[in-house]
């Protein structure tokens, strides 16, 4: 996964895979998702990212599998 932030447009691009984009869907005025030919998520674009997604702080946590 890659997260790219473009300060000049306040846009965040989150890339989940390198697959070719077959379709872009507008989820809301500031959120778009790109899908491959099988409908799988390829990337997500967030416009006005500082305001809408608190992009000023990003962290990643991988949670361990809990065995009961």
Asked if residues 43 and 14 have their Cβ atoms less than 8 Å apart, the reply is yes
Q: What is d(CA 63, CA 65) in angstroms, rounded to the nearest whole number?
A: 7
For the chain, the C-alpha Rg in angstroms (whole number) is 14
Statement: residue 54 has pLDDT above 80 = no
Tell me: the pLDDT tens digits for 2-31? 989 898 999 999 999 999 999 999 999 999
**pTM exceeding the 0.85 threshold for the entire prediction:** no
């Amino acid at each position: 996964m890659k997260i790219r932030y473009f300060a000049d447009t306040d846009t965040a691009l989150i890339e989940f895979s390198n697959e070719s984009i077959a379709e872009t869907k507008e989820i809301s005025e500031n959120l778009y998702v790109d899908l491959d030919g099988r409908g799988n998520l390829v990337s997500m674009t967030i416009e006005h990212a500082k305001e809408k997604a608190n992009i000023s702080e990003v962290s990643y946590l991988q949670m361990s599998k809990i065995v009961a």
